[in-house]
Amino acid sequence: MLGDTDGFLQGAQRERLRPRKERSAERYTATVVWMGMKMDNVLKRLLALLIAAACIFALCACGGTADGENAADEPEHDAEEVRRAVKPEEPEKIWPGPDVKLTEYDGVVEHLFFHPVIAYPEVAFRGDYMEKGLDDWMLTVSEYRAILDRLYENGYVIVDIGDVWGEEMASDGSTVMVRKTLMLPEGKKPLVISYDDVNYYEYMREYGFTYKLIVKDGEVWSWGLDPQGKEVVSQDLDAITILDKFVDEHPDFSMYGVKGCIALTGYEGILGYRTQTTTEGLTAEQEKQRQEEIKAVRPVIDALKENGWYFGSHTWGHIDLSGYEVDGVSEDTGRWKDEVASLVGDTPYLFYPHGARPDGDDLDQTGSVLRYLYDQGFRVFFSVGIESFSRIKDDIPAVIVDRLHPDGTTLRWSRDRYMRFYDAKDVFDYGHRPDLGRDW
């Protein structure tokens, strides 16, 4: 059930309950120490390639490190640098080119997150017990596509999280988290996009979503069944492939071809492939099947990375971190690393399921669970909120972030708050959504 296995309800409840004072945007900017040298763009990219090559070499040389070694004194894993290195050489498609003037941007970096989109709304909105949850937390394909159009028209450009925050060495040798100098073409507004639960859960296959991502002719496509049970391979039915196509058509919607951060759980595998284990153990036949799935998902991961996608953790079990002690979180994190990071790579990005922060939602102190997650290599911690709030923590070099959530609840009830991105009136899927009211 949506509410049990993948409930997003709690995030929105928290949005209403959280005190207003927590949310003033981007207050950290005044205290940021920028230690880095400003480089022109070409130099920066060259350096990124060199660093990425060094990272890849280090990974090969170590053959994987123990979890505990991915700690504060290790070099930051920078998904963006690795991504740039593996991207195929298509210089004519990379934007902005050398002719585009870049200027420093130090304002708010907006962050929107999406769930998988509904490919067949007539299947999702069929009047059963799932209808309300799907209406609340999902967008239909037509809404998602219309939102991308509006974001583009309104001057937003997708940036990599790794270009917004990163670790630096302070003069005393300690590690500090900094807001990086973001260089953008004049008039463009930066936007981070993340996608939660890109796992193609079993329940979604029954409710009008695509089934998995596949690779065809070097590109990422979705595979699934239409309402008549016919196989469909498409790039127009899935949030991931739709953005790929959109950026192909509008290269100036993305800095250097970056797309979004894909936040994965592990309990039903990843990207539509059933790569998970069970606590009861697998039979030899089941393990063989699992290995087949692992083999099948690898090229999809590679193709996503080559198309500018990068990955974050959404915990293995979609666990509500506000209700766990270190022991439980440690078990979950271990499984995420074994079954998900082993395939997509380590990541500094953790996206809280249900938007729920650990340690009593205390933004100032770092409790034992957050400290544990930090020691596991996570650096940027994403929740859900009513604005693109972010703050670099005072006591550890980490960032806490709130994301906005285009979905049925905000289309219906938060039109004003999203007006700078799009007008809900223009994108709402009147033809498919059930009659559940709206305040406009």
Binding site for Zn ion (CB under 5 A): 196-197, 353
- Say which DSSP state 439 is in: -
Residue 410 structure tokens? 């905000």
Q: Number of helices (H) and strands (E), helices first, in the chain?
A: 15, 16
Q: Please, which residue, 137 or 256, has the CB nearer to Zn ion?
A: 137
Say what angle helices 326-336 and 368-375 make with each other, to 10 degrees: 30
Kindly write down the DSSP assignment for every residue of 200-238, as one continuous string.
Answer: --HHHHTTT---EEEEETTEEEEEEE-TTS-EEEESSSS
Written as one letter, the residue type at 27 is R
Rounded least distance, CB 407 to Zn ion, Å: 12
Burial category of 4 from C-beta neighbours within 10 Å (exposed 0-12, middle 13-18, buried 19 and up): exposed
Residue 1 structure tokens? 């059930």
Gap between the Cα atoms of 421 and 378, Å rounded: 29
- CA-based nearest residue to 138, from 434, 431, 408: 408
Q: Are 163 and 182 in contact (CB under 8 A)?
A: yes
Q: Please, which residue, 196 or 268, has the CB nearer to Zn ion?
A: 196
Angle at 9 between CA 364 and CA 393, to 5 degrees: 15
Q: Are 314 and 264 in contact (CB under 8 A)?
A: yes
* Alpha-carbon Rg for the chain in angstroms: 21
**Containing H/E element for 87?**
none
Rounded least distance, CB 100 to Zn ion, Å: 36
